[in-house]
């Protein structure tokens, strides 16, 4: 079976692609090199080929030195679509030269004369159709994994992860209507759920401070904080409202 040299995590914003890329690296016990799409142009300007080459240099060095026994290297290209845009006939004249040279260099590295077997490329994108298809051909970043919007079960699971510490510390009131939160967040992402929990905690803290009438709260008092259904309801409304006005 052919080993994938690269995988592309593709899905809507906030579904956990960057988190998954980092988690894969953690599970494989590798400290990844991370290239964030939007930062590339300021960081790589004028020396983009060299920068891309240097990303692969450690892996090449290890492979030459240790061969089969080389340790695994991971490069994460976060928001790959903004690094390697598809070339279209219409925008050929206005294409960004930096983008072109980064894409070309990346292809060179992936195809290299000496194939590199000790590297895993993880790309993330929410616009797979805008990525230069040359990058996604067999032997390159040829495994595309869909990261879809979470269904009810997945949202419940994410909610559980986000509230685990609250529960463990006994800070979550039993009146929290988890079912309603899960149903109302249909169509939203893990990132929204995380935000709802964060806002609910802030609401509870605000309520606590207001009821005490002072800002300096002792450690014992902070342990009495309770995040209740009302805090979640308010947080949910805020996130839903922000979502609707953004559309
Ligand atoms: N499946 C998930 N499980 C647990 N937490 C999640 C999940 N999806 C999203 N989150 C939460 O949302 C945050 C944002 O997710 P992340 O940045 O990975 O999304 P993304 O898919 O990379 O979004 P974008 O396309 O906008 O870059 C995570 O740090 C995490 O707190
Ligand atoms: Mg991301």
- Residue 188 sits in a domain of what CATH number? 1.10.8.60
- Same domain for 206 and 113: no
**Residues in contact with ligand 1 (CB, 6 Å cut-off):** 13-19, 124, 126, 158, 161, 189-191, 194
Ligand with smallest separation from the Cα of 9: 1
222: in domain: yes
134: in domain: yes
- Same domain for 227 and 107: no
- Same domain for 160 and 136: no
pLDDT at 96: 63
Instruction: Tell me the pLDDT of the chain (247 aa) as tens digits.
Output: 456 689 999 999 999 999 999 999 999 999 999 999 878 777 777 777 888 889 999 999 998 899 888 999 999 999 999 888 876 544 555 556 777 788 888 998 888 767 778 999 999 999 999 999 999 998 899 999 999 999 999 999 999 999 999 999 999 999 999 999 999 999 999 999 999 999 999 999 999 888 888 778 788 877 788 999 999 999 999 999 998 887 6
Centre of ligand 1 to C-alpha 216, Å, is 33
pLDDT at 94: 53
pLDDT at 1: 45
Per the structure block, which two tokens stand in for 96? 């960004």
How far apart CA 11 and CA 140 sit, in angstroms, is 20
- Same domain for 240 and 166: yes
Host domain of residue 61:
6-146
Checking 36-43 for CB contacts under 8 A at 24+ apart, the result is: 36/78, 36/79, 37/77, 37/78, 37/79, 37/80, 37/81, 37/82, 37/83, 38/79, 38/82, 40/82, 40/83, 40/98, 40/102, 41/96, 41/98
Centre of ligand 1 to C-alpha 220, Å, is 33
From 146, 173, 192, give the residue that closes a domain: 146
Beta bridge partners of 123: 8, 77
Ligand with smallest separation from the Cα of 125: 1
pLDDT at 59: 92
Which residue among 39, 188, 191 has the greatest number of ligand 1 atoms within 8 angstroms of its CB, and so is best to mutate? 191
What are φ and ψ of residue 158, in 5° steps? -65, -40
- Same domain for 89 and 195: no
- Same domain for 109 and 79: yes
pLDDT at 89: 46
Report the number of distinct structural domains present in the chain.
Answer: 2
- Same domain for 35 and 73: yes
1: in domain: no
């Amino acid at each position: 079976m052919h080993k994938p040299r690269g995988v592309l995590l593709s899905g809507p914003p906030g579904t956990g692609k960057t988190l998954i890329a980092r988690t894969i690296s953690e599970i494989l016990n590798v400290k990844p090199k991370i290239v964030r799409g939007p930062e590339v142009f300021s960081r790589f300007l004028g020396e983009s080929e060299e920068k891309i080459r240097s990303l692969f240099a450690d892996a090449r060095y290890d492979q030459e030195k240790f061969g089969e026994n080389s340790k695994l290297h991971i490069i994460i290209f976060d928001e790959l679509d903004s690094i390697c845009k598809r070339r279209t006939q219409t925008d050929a004249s206005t294409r960004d030269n930096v983008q072109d040279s980064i894409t070309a260099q990346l292809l060179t590295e992936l195809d290299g004369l000496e194939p590199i077997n000790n590297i895993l490329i993880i790309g993330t994108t929410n616009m797979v159709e805008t990525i230069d298809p040359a990058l996604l051909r067999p032997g390159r970043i040829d495994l595309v994994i869909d990261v879809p919007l979470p269904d009810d079960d997945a949202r419940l699971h994410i909610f559980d992860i986000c509230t685990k510490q609250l529960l463990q510390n006994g800070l979550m009131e039993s009146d929290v209507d988890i079912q309603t939160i899960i149903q109302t967040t249909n169509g939203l992402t893990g990132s929204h759920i995380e935000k709802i929990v964060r806002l609910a905690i802030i609401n509870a803290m605000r309520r606590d401070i207001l009821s005490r009438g002072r800002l300096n709260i002792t450690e014992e008092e902070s342990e009495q904080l309770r995040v209740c259904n009302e805090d979640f309801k308010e947080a949910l409304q805020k996130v839903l409202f922000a979502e609707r006005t953004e559309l």
